[in-house]
A and B are shown apart, each in its own frame.
Chain A
Amino acid sequence: MSELQLIAELKDGNQQAFIKLIDLYKHLVFNTVLNMVQQFEEAEDLTQEVFIQVFQSIQHFRGDSKLSTWLYRIAITKCLDWQRKNNAKKRMNSMKSIFGLDGHQDIIPDFVHPGIQLANKEKATMLFKALKQLPENQRIAFTLIKADGLSYEEVSEIMQTSIKSLEGLMHRAKENLRKSLEQFYKS
C-alpha cells in the first residue's frame, strides 16, 4: 500500500489502515519521544497520544510533507507540551514545599538509554543529562540529528526552518553542551 493510499484510507476512517499506520511508525515515534522525554513510561504514554492525535486530525493533513515528517512534528509538539506541564508541576511543588504543604519533589534517576553500547553508557547518560539544560529548539535539533540520526534536510522540514538556521542552532547546541560538560568534568 502506497503512502497516498494509506492517507486516503485513514481519511475514510478505516481502522485497519490506522493499525497499519501504527505498525509502520510506532518504533520511529517511540524512539523520538524517548530521546526527548528520557523516561520510558512517559514515552509510551506520549506515543499513544501521538497516534490518537493523528487519528483525530488526519482530515487536516494536506499531504504537503511526508507522513513521517508530520508524525515527527506531532511527536515533538507533544513532548514540548509534556515538558512545559512537567516544569509547571515542578514549580508548583517547590512553591508548596516552601509554604510547608505536601509538595514532594520527584527525584528522577539519570536516563540510561536501552539502546546504548556498554562502552558508551556513562558518556551517553551524561550527554542526555546535559541535553535537558538546552533551550527547546537547540535540544530538538541536536536530538533529531544526533540521537535519531536524521539528516539536516529532514530536520529542517520537521522544524520548518532553513538549513542555514538549523546549522546555527546545532552550533549553539554543541557550544552549550561543551560548556556544561566541561564544567562537569572539571568538578
Chain B
Amino acid sequence: MNKNINHLVNETLDSFAHLQKVAAPDGLNERILQRMNQPKGSKEVYLFRNAQWLIAALVIGIVCNVYLAISYNNKGESNGTETSTISSFESHFRLETTTNLYE
C-alpha cells in the first residue's frame, strides 16, 4: 500500500517533465500597446482620491470632539449647574488643579 502511494507521489512530482510551452494569446501585442497609450487619470481625480482619507479623518475628529463636548456638558448639567461646553471643560480642569494645589 505504502509502496504504491510512494510510486504515485514520485510520478506526480515528475509530472511537469514533459510540460509543453503555451503560446501567448493572440492580439497580446496590441492590447499591451493600447494599455500603454491609455491616458492616465487626471491630477484632480488623483488628488481627490488621496484627499478623501484626509476628509474622513477630519470628519471622525469632528465627531469625536462633539461627542466629548456633549458628554462634558451633560456631566455639568447632572451636577446641577447648567454650563456651556467650554466652561464645563474649564471648571473640570480648574477643579483638578485646585485639588492638586492643596495636596
> Which residues in A have some Cβ–Cβ distance to B below 8 Å?
15, 19, 22-23, 26-27, 29-31, 34, 44, 47-48, 51-52, 55, 113-117, 120, 123-124, 126-127, 130, 146-147, 149, 174, 177-178, 181-182, 185-186
Contacts and interface: CB of A to CB of B under 8 A. Distances in A.
Contacts of B11: 123
Size range of the chain B interface in the assembly: 20 to 34
A55 B32 CA distance: 10
Nearest to A114: B22
Contact of B21 (A31, A52, A146): A31
B16 to A, nearest CB: 4
A127 B15 contact: yes
Nearest to A179: B9
Contacts of A186: 5
Interface string B1-38: 00001001101110111111111110011011101100
A129 to B, nearest CB: 10
Contacts of A23: 29
B1 to A, nearest CB: 9
Contacts of A30: 22, 24-25, 28
A118 B12 CA distance: 14
Contact of B12 (A19, A34, A114, A123): A123
Most buried by A among B17, B28, B31, B36: B28
Contact of B28 (A34, A48, A146, A182): A48
Contacts of A115: 19-22
B19 A48 contact: no
Contact of B32 (A51, A116, A126, A147): A51
A6 B9 CA distance: 45
A116 B15 CA distance: 9
B12 A127 contact: yes
16 contacts: A19-B33, A22-B32, A27-B22, A30-B24, A34-B22, A113-B19, A113-B22, A117-B18, A123-B11, A124-B19, A126-B15, A127-B16, A147-B16, A147-B19, A177-B13, A182-B5
A19 B32 CA distance: 9
Contacts of A117: 18, 20
B32 A44 contact: no
B32 A52 contact: yes
Contact of B29 (A26, A114, A116, A185): A26
Contacts of B18: 117, 120
A123 B15 CA distance: 6
Given A22-B29, A26-B24, A55 B36 contact: yes
